[in-house]
Amino acid sequence: MYTEICTDEAKNALYSLIEREVKTNPYKNYDGFLIDVKRVANELPEQTSSMFKTIRNSIDNDKEQVFLIRNCPIDKDLPELGNEDPVNVKRATKKTFVGEALLALYSICCDMPILSYTTRNEGDFFQDVKAMDKYNLTQTQKTNGALNWHNDRTAHPVRADYLMLLGLRVPEQNRIETHYIDAKKVISQLPNHHIYELNRNSFYTPYDDFSRDSNANQQNSEPHSIIYEGDKLRYYDDRTNILNPSVEKSKEALENLKKVINESQVDIKEIQESDLFIFPNLKGLHARQLAGIQDFAAQSERWLLKTYNFESSRVANRYSYLYTEKFGQVNDDCLTV
Ligand SMILES: [Fe+2]
């Protein structure tokens, strides 16, 4: 994992720039907000611009793919979101957009365009990993519980290459771990005949409860392979399953994959406030582990701001036929699989 700690000087300089330039609400006027953020990009502190170059080079040259940037600027005054309808409370009460600007800045300067979906949080480009009572103990971004090994949006035909998570509010009394494993390492542990089976379109993944509630068309994925393009996985543990339960070879390969994942070497990270964690969504799997919960109510207050990101503009352009007038916003109202 590439780790860098922003100096207080760089953090404060970036905060002041964002505070000065970014006034437009991204939930109301995303294009105007991006114009504000681009002004910030013209005056970056040196440490920040060199970090952007490091990340881009590392991705391009297939070096380190997991990045932890600590001591990032975030909003000083954050509203209480509650657990009934946090997204709408956020839209109504969040008056500064430092976290959003920081994520947008990374996406612009590292050339990792943000992806959104018209049927997920109404097309918002900034998502919240934040508990919502309705989804307690489900396998969704709105759960307050643990999450199995997975890629985000496993069932969806358009999936992010990378995820960015920014710690906005992280109660210190609880230990919540983000686990990550590299897909190449998992695949290298599998025998060839299992790799062959896992490359076949013999599997499917049901959509999660939040997706199903947001779009009645989203029930099950199309038949898909679990391994694709050599080093990518499409898998949600305990949800991805075989299409035809009588095919023993697929069943055996899936069972062995599960075993290999559980025996893999895991990177463990506790995302703290002001931490930005960037990691591959497809060239790896991630999970959430509740390692030590002292205060369950505080656990529901945990709030990470998140974006789905493409690897580059070149990759994002492949899906442009699916976008609304906003680049990166997939119109999946009518998209059936
Ligand atoms: Fe996830």
Rounded Cα–Cα distance for residues 159 and 161 (Å): 7
* Least confident residue range of 122-136, 201-215, 229-243: 201-215
- Gap from CA of 147 to ligand 1 centroid (Å): 8
The burial class, CB within 10 Å (0-12 / 13-18 / 19+), for 109 is buried
Which is more confidently placed, 337 or 70?
70
Per-residue pLDDT, 161: 98
Binding site listing: 150
Mean pLDDT of the chain: 94
Q: How far is CA 96 from the centre of its chain?
A: 22
Query: What separation in Å is there between the alpha carbon of 139 and the centre of ligand 1?
Result: 9
N-to-C CA span, the chain: 35
pLDDT for 185 beyond 70:
yes
Annotated binding site for Fe cation: 150
In this prediction, residue 143 carries a pLDDT of: 83
pLDDT digits over 21-62, tens only?
999 999 999 999 999 999 999 999 999 999 999 999 999 999
Q: Is the pLDDT of residue 68 over 70?
A: yes
Mean pLDDT of 178-200: 97
Give the pLDDT of residue 135. Answer: 84
Q: How far is the CA of 39 from the centre of ligand 1 (A)?
A: 31
Ligand 1 geometric centre to CA of 286 (Å): 6
**131-135, 210-214, 242-246, 252-256: least confident range:** 210-214
Sheet strands side by side (includes 284-292): 147-150, 284-292, 175-182, 267-269
DSSP secondary structure string for all residues of 222-274: PSB-SEETTTEE--BTTT-EESSTT-HHHHHHHHHHHHHHHHS--EEE-PPTT
Comparison of pLDDT for 337 and 198, the residue scoring more: 198
Decide if 103 contacts 4 (C-beta within 8 A).
Answer: no
* Distance from C-alpha of 194 to C-alpha of 202, rounded to nearest angstrom: 12
Q: Which residues of 60-73 are buried (b: 16+ CB within 10 A; e: fewer)?
A: eeeeebbbbbbbbb
Query: In angstroms, what is the span from residue 149 Cα to ligand 1's centroid?
Result: 8
CA of 306 relative to ligand 1 center, distance in Å: 10
Q: Using CA atoms, how far apart are residues 165 and 125, in angstroms rounded to an integer?
A: 13
Distance 108 CA to ligand 1 centre (A): 22
**How far is the centre of ligand 1, averaged over its atoms, from the C-alpha of 130 (Å)?**
12
Q: Given pLDDT bands bounded at 50, 70 and 90, which one contains residue 336? A: low
Query: For residue 269, how far is its CA from the centre of ligand 1 (angstroms)?
Result: 14
Q: How many of the other CB atoms lie within 10 Å of CB of 313?
A: 12
Least confident of 143-152, 189-198, 236-245, 287-296: 287-296
Alpha carbons 164 and 305: distance in angstroms, whole number: 8
d(CA 143, CA 274): 22
The percentage of residues in the chain with a pLDDT greater than 70, rounded to a whole number, is: 99
Q: Is the pLDDT confidence value at 316 over 90?
A: yes
The CA 181 to ligand 1 mean position distance, Å, reads 13
Residues 114-142 have pLDDT tens digits of 999 999 999 999 999 998 888 887 888 78
Ligand 1 is an ion; its neighbours by CB within 5 Å are 152
Tell me the CA–centroid distance for residue 35 and ligand 1, in Å: 29
Contact 235, 198 (CB under 8 A): no
pLDDT band at 10 (very low <50, low <70, confident <90, very high): very high
Beta pairing partners, 162:
280, 309
pLDDT of residue 57: 97
Tokens of 18: 């964002």
Which tokens is 291 given? 């390692």
Domains and CATH numbers, the chain: 2-330 (3.60.130.10)
The secondary structure of 289-301 as a DSSP string is EEEE-S-HHHHTT
pLDDT at site 218: 80
